[in-house]
Amino acid sequence: MTEIPPLNSLRAFDAAGRRLSFRSAADELGVTQGAVAQQVRQLEAHLDVVLFERVPKGLMFTSVGRSFHNRIAEVFADLRSATAELKPEPNKVLISVTPTFAAKWLIPNLPDFTAAHPNIDLRIMATEKVSSFHSDGINLAVRQGSPPFGASLYVTLLFKQSLIAVAAPKHADMGDSPLDAKTLAKKPKVHDTHDRWPSYLAHLGVQEQSPRHLRMSQTSLAVDAAIAGQGVALVSRFLVAHDLEAGRLVEVGNAWDTGGNDFYVLMPRSAKNNESVVNVMTWLTARSAEDT
Protein backbone atom coordinates (compact mmCIF):
# COMPACT_ATOMS: atom_id res chain seq x y z
CA MET A 1 0.00 0.00 0.00
CA THR A 2 1.37 3.40 -1.05
CA GLU A 3 2.21 5.57 1.95
CA ILE A 4 0.09 8.72 2.17
CA PRO A 5 2.17 11.94 2.48
CA PRO A 6 1.94 13.96 5.72
CA LEU A 7 -1.34 15.85 5.96
CA ASN A 8 0.31 19.17 6.89
CA SER A 9 2.47 19.00 3.80
CA LEU A 10 -0.57 18.32 1.63
CA ARG A 11 -2.46 21.25 3.21
CA ALA A 12 0.49 23.58 2.54
CA PHE A 13 0.73 22.33 -1.05
CA ASP A 14 -3.01 22.79 -1.59
CA ALA A 15 -2.95 26.38 -0.33
CA ALA A 16 0.25 27.28 -2.18
CA GLY A 17 -1.11 25.76 -5.38
CA ARG A 18 -4.36 27.70 -5.21
CA ARG A 19 -2.54 30.98 -4.61
CA LEU A 20 0.80 30.29 -6.34
CA SER A 21 2.49 32.10 -3.47
CA PHE A 22 4.05 30.86 -0.24
CA ARG A 23 3.28 34.21 1.41
CA SER A 24 -0.43 34.13 0.53
CA ALA A 25 -0.66 30.48 1.54
CA ALA A 26 0.96 31.33 4.88
CA ASP A 27 -1.62 34.07 5.50
CA GLU A 28 -4.43 31.61 4.76
CA LEU A 29 -3.06 28.91 7.06
CA GLY A 30 -1.97 31.24 9.84
CA VAL A 31 1.70 30.19 9.75
CA THR A 32 4.95 31.70 8.51
CA GLN A 33 6.02 31.80 4.90
CA GLY A 34 9.06 29.70 5.80
CA ALA A 35 6.85 27.03 7.37
CA VAL A 36 4.81 26.67 4.18
CA ALA A 37 7.95 26.48 2.04
CA GLN A 38 9.42 23.84 4.35
CA GLN A 39 6.26 21.72 4.22
CA VAL A 40 6.24 21.85 0.42
CA ARG A 41 9.94 20.88 0.27
CA GLN A 42 9.19 17.94 2.58
CA LEU A 43 6.36 16.85 0.27
CA GLU A 44 8.61 17.09 -2.79
CA ALA A 45 11.23 15.01 -0.97
CA HIS A 46 8.60 12.45 0.06
CA LEU A 47 7.32 12.12 -3.52
CA ASP A 48 10.77 12.57 -5.11
CA VAL A 49 9.36 15.05 -7.63
CA VAL A 50 9.50 18.81 -8.15
CA LEU A 51 6.03 20.33 -7.73
CA PHE A 52 6.79 24.04 -8.17
CA GLU A 53 9.26 26.17 -10.02
CA ARG A 54 10.28 29.19 -7.93
CA VAL A 55 9.93 32.34 -10.07
CA PRO A 56 10.50 36.02 -9.15
CA LYS A 57 6.79 36.78 -8.66
CA GLY A 58 5.91 33.59 -6.80
CA LEU A 59 5.42 30.01 -7.91
CA MET A 60 4.74 28.17 -11.13
CA PHE A 61 3.54 24.57 -11.36
CA THR A 62 5.61 21.89 -13.01
CA SER A 63 3.50 19.61 -15.21
CA VAL A 64 3.59 16.94 -12.50
CA GLY A 65 2.73 19.48 -9.82
CA ARG A 66 -0.31 20.79 -11.69
CA SER A 67 -1.70 17.31 -12.24
CA PHE A 68 -1.16 16.34 -8.58
CA HIS A 69 -2.68 19.59 -7.31
CA ASN A 70 -5.87 19.09 -9.35
CA ARG A 71 -6.46 15.82 -7.52
CA ILE A 72 -5.46 17.09 -4.07
CA ALA A 73 -7.63 20.23 -4.40
CA GLU A 74 -10.69 18.04 -5.12
CA VAL A 75 -10.00 15.94 -2.03
CA PHE A 76 -9.72 18.97 0.25
CA ALA A 77 -12.86 20.51 -1.30
CA ASP A 78 -14.76 17.30 -0.53
CA LEU A 79 -13.44 17.32 3.04
CA ARG A 80 -14.54 20.93 3.54
CA SER A 81 -17.96 20.18 2.10
CA ALA A 82 -18.44 17.07 4.26
CA THR A 83 -17.40 18.98 7.37
CA ALA A 84 -19.77 21.86 6.57
CA GLU A 85 -22.70 19.45 6.29
CA LEU A 86 -22.06 18.23 9.85
CA LYS A 87 -22.29 21.71 11.34
CA PRO A 88 -25.75 22.56 12.61
CA GLU A 89 -27.52 25.20 10.55
CA PRO A 90 -30.88 25.74 12.27
CA ASN A 91 -32.38 27.79 9.42
CA LYS A 92 -31.27 25.49 6.61
CA VAL A 93 -33.90 23.16 5.16
CA LEU A 94 -33.01 20.74 2.35
CA ILE A 95 -35.94 19.39 0.35
CA SER A 96 -35.75 16.58 -2.20
CA VAL A 97 -38.09 16.88 -5.20
CA THR A 98 -38.15 15.75 -8.82
CA PRO A 99 -36.81 18.19 -11.44
CA THR A 100 -40.35 18.58 -12.81
CA PHE A 101 -41.87 19.40 -9.41
CA ALA A 102 -39.07 21.90 -8.82
CA ALA A 103 -39.34 23.62 -12.20
CA LYS A 104 -43.12 23.66 -12.64
CA TRP A 105 -44.44 24.20 -9.11
CA LEU A 106 -41.90 24.83 -6.37
CA ILE A 107 -39.70 27.44 -8.05
CA PRO A 108 -42.63 29.50 -9.41
CA ASN A 109 -43.99 29.62 -5.84
CA LEU A 110 -40.70 30.55 -4.15
CA PRO A 111 -41.48 34.30 -4.04
CA ASP A 112 -44.49 33.48 -1.85
CA PHE A 113 -42.33 31.29 0.40
CA THR A 114 -39.57 33.87 0.71
CA ALA A 115 -42.08 36.56 1.65
CA ALA A 116 -43.55 34.32 4.35
CA HIS A 117 -40.25 32.94 5.69
CA PRO A 118 -37.38 35.28 4.78
CA ASN A 119 -35.05 33.77 7.41
CA ILE A 120 -35.26 30.17 6.21
CA ASP A 121 -32.48 29.00 3.88
CA LEU A 122 -34.45 26.63 1.64
CA ARG A 123 -32.25 24.41 -0.48
CA ILE A 124 -33.67 22.29 -3.28
CA MET A 125 -32.27 18.91 -4.31
CA ALA A 126 -33.87 18.24 -7.69
CA THR A 127 -33.25 14.64 -8.66
CA GLU A 128 -35.08 11.67 -10.14
CA LYS A 129 -33.45 9.28 -7.68
CA VAL A 130 -35.02 8.53 -4.32
CA SER A 131 -32.93 10.51 -1.83
CA SER A 132 -32.21 9.25 1.68
CA PHE A 133 -33.14 11.30 4.74
CA HIS A 134 -30.09 9.90 6.52
CA SER A 135 -27.28 9.58 3.99
CA ASP A 136 -28.25 12.61 1.85
CA GLY A 137 -29.08 14.81 4.84
CA ILE A 138 -32.48 15.90 3.50
CA ASN A 139 -35.15 17.30 5.81
CA LEU A 140 -38.23 16.96 3.59
CA ALA A 141 -39.13 15.06 0.45
CA VAL A 142 -41.96 15.21 -2.07
CA ARG A 143 -42.83 11.74 -3.28
CA GLN A 144 -45.33 10.43 -5.79
CA GLY A 145 -46.96 7.17 -4.77
CA SER A 146 -49.40 5.62 -2.34
CA PRO A 147 -49.13 5.25 1.46
CA PRO A 148 -47.81 3.79 3.64
CA PHE A 149 -44.34 5.34 3.30
CA GLY A 150 -43.00 4.22 6.69
CA ALA A 151 -43.87 4.55 10.35
CA SER A 152 -40.94 6.92 10.98
CA LEU A 153 -42.41 9.60 8.68
CA TYR A 154 -45.13 12.22 8.89
CA VAL A 155 -46.98 12.12 5.56
CA THR A 156 -49.26 14.85 4.17
CA LEU A 157 -51.11 14.83 0.84
CA LEU A 158 -50.20 17.74 -1.43
CA PHE A 159 -51.95 16.96 -4.72
CA LYS A 160 -54.22 14.24 -6.05
CA GLN A 161 -53.06 12.85 -9.36
CA SER A 162 -55.42 14.51 -11.85
CA LEU A 163 -54.12 14.24 -15.41
CA ILE A 164 -55.16 16.60 -18.18
CA ALA A 165 -54.25 16.85 -21.85
CA VAL A 166 -52.74 20.24 -22.70
CA ALA A 167 -51.44 21.90 -25.83
CA ALA A 168 -50.42 25.24 -27.22
CA PRO A 169 -53.46 27.27 -28.35
CA LYS A 170 -52.76 26.52 -32.03
CA HIS A 171 -53.47 22.82 -31.36
CA ALA A 172 -56.67 23.48 -29.45
CA ASP A 173 -59.08 24.01 -32.36
CA MET A 174 -60.43 27.05 -30.55
CA GLY A 175 -64.17 26.97 -30.08
CA ASP A 176 -64.21 23.22 -29.40
CA SER A 177 -62.25 22.74 -26.19
CA PRO A 178 -61.87 20.22 -24.74
CA LEU A 179 -61.59 18.25 -27.94
CA ASP A 180 -63.76 15.22 -28.51
CA ALA A 181 -61.95 11.92 -27.90
CA LYS A 182 -61.60 10.97 -31.59
CA THR A 183 -60.09 14.33 -32.51
CA LEU A 184 -57.70 14.16 -29.57
CA ALA A 185 -56.57 10.66 -30.62
CA LYS A 186 -55.42 12.09 -33.95
CA LYS A 187 -53.33 14.91 -32.47
CA PRO A 188 -49.49 14.70 -32.30
CA LYS A 189 -48.49 13.47 -28.84
CA VAL A 190 -45.69 14.41 -26.47
CA HIS A 191 -44.73 11.59 -24.09
CA ASP A 192 -42.74 11.60 -20.85
CA THR A 193 -41.18 8.64 -19.07
CA HIS A 194 -44.51 7.76 -17.39
CA ASP A 195 -46.12 7.31 -20.86
CA ARG A 196 -49.73 7.35 -19.68
CA TRP A 197 -51.19 8.15 -23.10
CA PRO A 198 -52.26 4.55 -23.90
CA SER A 199 -54.14 4.27 -20.58
CA TYR A 200 -55.70 7.71 -20.97
CA LEU A 201 -56.97 7.03 -24.49
CA ALA A 202 -58.31 3.65 -23.35
CA HIS A 203 -60.12 5.50 -20.56
CA LEU A 204 -61.72 7.72 -23.24
CA GLY A 205 -62.64 4.65 -25.29
CA VAL A 206 -60.55 5.46 -28.36
CA GLN A 207 -57.38 4.14 -30.01
CA GLU A 208 -54.23 6.09 -30.76
CA GLN A 209 -54.21 7.59 -34.27
CA SER A 210 -51.50 10.19 -33.96
CA PRO A 211 -49.20 10.68 -36.97
CA ARG A 212 -46.30 11.83 -34.81
CA HIS A 213 -44.87 11.13 -31.33
CA LEU A 214 -42.19 13.03 -29.42
CA ARG A 215 -40.68 11.32 -26.37
CA MET A 216 -39.01 13.26 -23.56
CA SER A 217 -37.07 12.07 -20.50
CA GLN A 218 -38.87 14.39 -18.03
CA THR A 219 -42.40 15.70 -17.63
CA SER A 220 -41.14 19.30 -17.47
CA LEU A 221 -39.58 18.85 -20.91
CA ALA A 222 -42.84 17.42 -22.24
CA VAL A 223 -44.64 20.52 -20.94
CA ASP A 224 -42.08 22.79 -22.61
CA ALA A 225 -42.46 20.86 -25.87
CA ALA A 226 -46.24 21.30 -25.72
CA ILE A 227 -45.81 25.05 -25.14
CA ALA A 228 -43.54 25.11 -28.20
CA GLY A 229 -46.34 23.61 -30.28
CA GLN A 230 -44.88 20.13 -30.67
CA GLY A 231 -48.06 18.29 -29.68
CA VAL A 232 -50.37 17.42 -26.81
CA ALA A 233 -48.90 16.51 -23.43
CA LEU A 234 -50.56 14.57 -20.61
CA VAL A 235 -49.62 16.02 -17.22
CA SER A 236 -50.81 16.63 -13.68
CA ARG A 237 -53.04 19.69 -13.60
CA PHE A 238 -51.19 21.48 -10.78
CA LEU A 239 -47.89 21.33 -12.71
CA VAL A 240 -49.28 23.47 -15.55
CA ALA A 241 -51.54 25.81 -13.55
CA HIS A 242 -49.27 28.81 -14.23
CA ASP A 243 -49.00 27.99 -17.95
CA LEU A 244 -52.79 27.64 -18.26
CA GLU A 245 -53.36 30.92 -16.46
CA ALA A 246 -50.81 32.70 -18.67
CA GLY A 247 -52.36 31.31 -21.85
CA ARG A 248 -49.26 29.39 -22.89
CA LEU A 249 -51.30 26.18 -22.74
CA VAL A 250 -54.97 25.28 -23.00
CA GLU A 251 -56.76 22.20 -21.71
CA VAL A 252 -57.80 20.02 -24.65
CA GLY A 253 -58.76 16.76 -22.91
CA ASN A 254 -61.01 15.97 -19.96
CA ALA A 255 -59.37 15.38 -16.57
CA TRP A 256 -58.63 11.83 -15.52
CA ASP A 257 -58.29 11.08 -11.82
CA THR A 258 -56.16 7.97 -11.93
CA GLY A 259 -56.64 6.99 -8.28
CA GLY A 260 -53.44 6.59 -6.28
CA ASN A 261 -49.93 7.68 -7.26
CA ASP A 262 -50.63 11.07 -5.67
CA PHE A 263 -48.10 13.65 -4.45
CA TYR A 264 -47.13 13.70 -0.76
CA VAL A 265 -44.68 15.61 1.39
CA LEU A 266 -42.71 13.45 3.84
CA MET A 267 -40.99 14.59 7.03
CA PRO A 268 -39.11 12.41 9.54
CA ARG A 269 -40.83 12.29 12.94
CA SER A 270 -37.45 13.17 14.43
CA ALA A 271 -37.75 16.63 12.80
CA LYS A 272 -40.94 17.61 14.66
CA ASN A 273 -38.95 19.93 16.96
CA ASN A 274 -37.12 21.64 14.08
CA GLU A 275 -39.12 24.85 13.66
CA SER A 276 -37.74 25.66 10.20
CA VAL A 277 -38.54 22.22 8.80
CA VAL A 278 -42.04 22.29 10.27
CA ASN A 279 -42.61 25.78 8.83
CA VAL A 280 -41.61 24.63 5.33
CA MET A 281 -43.92 21.61 5.54
CA THR A 282 -46.78 23.81 6.77
CA TRP A 283 -46.21 26.25 3.91
CA LEU A 284 -46.15 23.44 1.33
CA THR A 285 -49.45 22.04 2.51
CA ALA A 286 -51.10 25.46 2.76
CA ARG A 287 -49.87 26.57 -0.69
CA SER A 288 -50.95 23.31 -2.33
CA ALA A 289 -54.40 23.67 -0.74
CA GLU A 290 -54.72 27.09 -2.38
CA ASP A 291 -53.85 25.62 -5.78
CA THR A 292 -56.23 22.72 -5.28
pLDDT tens column, 63-84: 999 999 999 999 988 888 787 7
266: left (phi over 0), alpha (psi -120 to 50) or beta: beta
Mean pLDDT confidence for 284-289: 94
Bridge partners of 93, per DSSP, are: 122
C-alpha pair distances (Å), 235 with each of 40, 143, 206, 263: 59, 16, 19, 13
The pLDDT confidence band at residue 258, using thresholds 50, 70 and 90, is confident
% of residues, the chain, pLDDT over 70: 96
Q: Which residue, among 146, 142, 165, 108, has the nearest Cα to 259 in the 3D structure?
A: 146
Which residue did the predictor score with more confidence, 211 or 13? 13
Phi and psi of 206, rounded to 5°? Answer: -130, 165
The architecture in CATH of the region 92-160+261-291 reads 3-Layer(aba) Sandwich (3.40)
> Mutual orientation of helices 22-29 and 7-19 as an angle, nearest 10°?
120
CA–CA gap between residue 126 and residue 97 (Å, rounded): 5
Looking at residue 261, its pLDDT comes to: 83
Instruction: Name the CATH topology of 162-257.
Output: D-Maltodextrin-Binding Protein; domain 2 (3.40.190)
CA–CA gap between residue 152 and residue 267 (Å, rounded): 9
Q: Where in the chain is the domain with CATH 3.40.190.10?
A: 92-160+261-291, 162-257
Full-model pTM: 0.66
Looking at residue 88, its pLDDT comes to: 66
Mean pLDDT confidence for 202-218: 91
Looking at residue 56, its pLDDT comes to: 86
Looking at residue 172, its pLDDT comes to: 67
Q: Where in the chain is the domain with CATH 1.10.10.10?
A: 7-86
The strand pair at 92-97 and 121-126 is best described as parallel
Looking at residue 51, its pLDDT comes to: 96
Query: 91-142 pLDDT, tens per residue?
Result: 899 999 999 999 999 999 999 999 999 999 999 999 888 777 877 788 999 9
Does the pLDDT at position 173 exceed 70?
Answer: no
| CATH number of the structural domain 7-86 | 1.10.10.10
Query: 11-33 pLDDT, tens per residue?
Result: 999 999 999 999 999 998 999 99
CA–CA gap between residue 190 and residue 167 (Å, rounded): 9
Looking at residue 189, its pLDDT comes to: 94
Mean pLDDT confidence for 248-272: 89
Q: Contact 22/36 with Cβ under 8 angstroms? A: yes
21: left (phi over 0), alpha (psi -120 to 50) or beta: beta
The DSSP annotation for 73-136 comes to HHHHHHHHHHHHHHS--TTEEEEEE-HHHIIIIIGGGHHHHHHH-TT-EEEEEE-SS---TTTS
Lowest mean pLDDT among 118-127, 171-180, 257-266, 277-286: 171-180
Q: What is the DSSP letter of 59?
A: E
